[in-house]
Structure 1
């Protein structure tokens, strides 16, 4: 077996599991928020905490990645996610907040560790496709959440659904252990990970400073953040929006959510292949952003009595174009980065992306409360993506 195939299998597995863990929380959110006595839209605040936890790892986790190696760091992330789900099982508001933060920290290793593994092993002529296949694990994990966590929560209770997620994370961490001796061979056992080293100004600034390496990076980051705002809101609120405004049961809403996720899986592979063939990955993302903006706006304006098929079709389109940009973006970041700086540049770009995930759901939740409905927030999400795409597209033409 070629080394890159094993590397892709490991990173795809861990990306899928990390996404399954983080998406299981919003999928069962209508039950959890009701149990905790919270308004349904408050799930946006928990989603923002998840993203903030990831930001913390991306800012501070560089020394751990260097010392432990990417495989061990991915295993550590899975263990933290498992601990987060056990914490969420307590069901209190404080426990849900802490669990959300820990989920984000546990998800944090996936982008930089995965990119480090694939940048060292993937054939250059297929780099974008391979990165996109790995990133297909994100919507694949979300689809698993919709198809597994939602039915279990509806039939056996949401604590049981969280327990299933715990077992899944620990099993995945065990499965990739045989690859550690090969993929972690270049780790630095002497790298210090004390508090002074982790919180040093140099360590905190390194991922952000790395974004000055290439002039394409700021444009790519801006577009990726805008996509993240859109995707974060879609993933955080789709199930709750379907239950609250379309009268769906949790299982049917979870299935519709799974359609969105599966469409993203297919799109990540297909659009990654197209990006390799055209050699114009960033320009492709601009076009994709305009289509994603239109799909979200169409969802917002879809009449309440519209056929279920139309609703599921639009959700699928939104997932196809709005949740398939990640692998293309990460591949472009790796392409313009020096081999020894891939981890830092990926952490820097992903850090800003997750700031988008932090801001998006919380702002969306606030707008739902202030406007008394879901239509205006969804239209604003669509508008910001179209505006940023237009600005980046104009910059690329210049």
Structure 2
């Protein structure tokens, strides 16, 4: 069906577009990172071992992948703003479900929270690609993506103390309220940002599970020769970020003797480093004109810092806080530059589709490695080897894709 051309998304204010996408990215990340922040309490209440946090993280990523693979028709029919609102409400419902406790409730809640996060990459890219000034594209995408570590930082600073003071059900209730209010706040932007939608697009089971809908996002990666190596690098970066952040609070409390509040503050510092670095490095990518090579540099630096962080003995709260912030600034600052590059390399009419396909493969780095990580911790009884393997694979992948990305820059 042809899109509704009663208006043009390209004519919308990029400032409004950035405000909406930044807010909803922050809220989605706040909900998504709330699980690892509260993991020691959630897993303990359900009678699960600490390393089960990795399995909950993997289930959340599975939810993200479900939307990225199947959600194209929904995004086209509802429009990006309405889809972001729906995602926030689904994530809120997941948080409410988690408050029931128990293994089944936590597993289902993790999937729902991930499903609610799913719209943020394609919906955000669709909005910003049409509204962001080209010369500031990497910076604007990076500011939007700064919402991811910002949401995690807020989760670490807010949810952990609330859970200690009023119990983890109280922390989950607070998260539900924040998500619902945010979905209501962006309602006025629909008039300008949901104009290019397809109100008659089928969204039934046949449309969602059709071969064309499932294969289309992956086929879009053939639209430019650099999309494949760029996606491989992003998947590798996601592996480190996923393992590093999913286990950070549990790892620090288990091996460094930190309290939940202290570990939550270190987690927040890691996220804060990512917030600042996303903006600074996004600006630098626009200035250098070779964003892919910037990503290579971040990958090599991130692998080194993570390896040093996990090899160091316990140093006390403040040094751990500082090193955590440095590590987070490198392993959690690549997403905006990556998404801006995918948007730049893709034809205008295929940006959401290419972003969904690339992000699907990228999110495999958040899905499979944390589950492997948790299994290795169980088998070896050590947190060190899995962390070093995660950092090592990033070093290898960055060096492998370096020649192609350098030639194509």
Counterpart of 2:355 in structure 1 is 346
Q: Is the contact made by 2:230 and 2:405 (CA closer than 8 Å) also made in structure 1?
A: no
Worse-matched range after superposition: 229-238 or 269-278: 229-238
Counterpart of 2:197 in structure 1 is 187
Q: Secondary structure at the residue paired with 2:196?
A: coil
Counterpart of 1:308 in structure 2 is 317
Counterpart of 1:66 in structure 2 is 76
Cα distance in 1 between the residues matched to 2:296 and 2:259: 36
Q: Is the contact made by 1:298 and 1:314 (CA closer than 8 Å) also made in structure 2?
A: no
Counterpart of 1:13 in structure 2 is 23
> Which string of whole-angstrom CA distances, capped at 9 and with x for unpartnered residues, describes residues 50-75 of structure 1?
00110000000000000000000000
Deviation at 1:2, TM superposition (A): 7.5
Deviation at 1:355, TM superposition (A): 1.0
Cα distance in 2 between the residues matched to 1:186 and 1:15: 21
Counterpart of 1:376 in structure 2 is 385
- Say yes or no: does 1:157 pair with 2:172: no
Paired residue total: 397
1:387 aligned to which of 396, 399, 402: 396
Aligned pairs for 1:243-258 (under 5 A) are: 243-258=253-268
- Say yes or no: does 1:139 pair with 2:149: yes
Q: Is the contact made by 2:226 and 2:404 (CA closer than 8 Å) also made in structure 1?
A: no
Across the aligned residues of Structure 1 and Structure 2, the Cα RMSD in angstroms comes to 1.1
- Say yes or no: does 1:396 pair with 2:408: no
Deviation at 1:23, TM superposition (A): 0.4
Cα distance in 1 between the residues matched to 2:196 and 2:402: 39
Deviation at 1:34, TM superposition (A): 0.7
- Say yes or no: does 1:235 pair with 2:241: no
Aligned pairs for 1:166-205 (under 5 A) are: 166-205=176-215
Counterpart of 2:296 in structure 1 is 286
> Which string of whole-angstrom CA distances, capped at 9 and with x for unpartnered residues, describes residues 335-381 of structure 1?
01111101000000100111110012111111111111111111101
> Which string of whole-angstrom CA distances, capped at 9 and with x for unpartnered residues, describes residues 119-152 of structure 1?
1100001000000000000000000000000000
Cα distance in 1 between the residues matched to 2:243 and 2:322: 18
Cα distance in 1 between the residues matched to 2:403 and 2:134: 28
Deviation at 1:397, TM superposition (A): 4.2
Cα distance in 2 between the residues matched to 1:299 and 1:91: 33
Hey, which bits of structure 1, 4+ residues long, moved more than 6 A?
none
Cα distance in 2 between the residues matched to 1:148 and 1:316: 18
Return the TM-score normalized by structure 1: 0.98
Q: Secondary structure at the residue paired with 1:28?
A: helix
Q: Is the contact made by 1:48 and 1:358 (CA closer than 8 Å) also made in structure 2?
A: yes
Cα distance in 1 between the residues matched to 2:369 and 2:264: 21
Cα distance in 1 between the residues matched to 2:244 and 2:22: 22
Worse-matched range after superposition: 295-304 or 343-352: 295-304
Cα distance in 2 between the residues matched to 1:227 and 1:314: 19
2:331 aligned to which of 322, 329, 344: 322
Return the TM-score normalized by structure 2: 0.96
Deviation at 1:395, TM superposition (A): 2.9
Gap regions ≥5 residues in structure 1: none
Deviation at 1:325, TM superposition (A): 0.3
Cα distance in 2 between the residues matched to 1:339 and 1:88: 40
Counterpart of 2:5 in structure 1 is none
Q: Secondary structure at the residue paired with 1:105?
A: helix
> Which string of whole-angstrom CA distances, capped at 9 and with x for unpartnered residues, describes residues 249-307 of structure 1?
00111011000000000000000000000011011111110110011101111013x24
1:207 aligned to which of 208, 214, 217: 217
Cα distance in 1 between the residues matched to 2:318 and 2:262: 12
Cα distance in 1 between the residues matched to 2:320 and 2:96: 34
Deviation at 1:394, TM superposition (A): 2.8
Cα distance in 1 between the residues matched to 2:289 and 2:372: 36
1:95 aligned to which of 92, 98, 105: 105
Classify 1:276/1:397 alpha carbon distance in 2 versus 1 (closer, same or farther; 3 Å). Answer: closer
Cα distance in 1 between the residues matched to 2:406 and 2:279: 27
Counterpart of 1:331 in structure 2 is 340
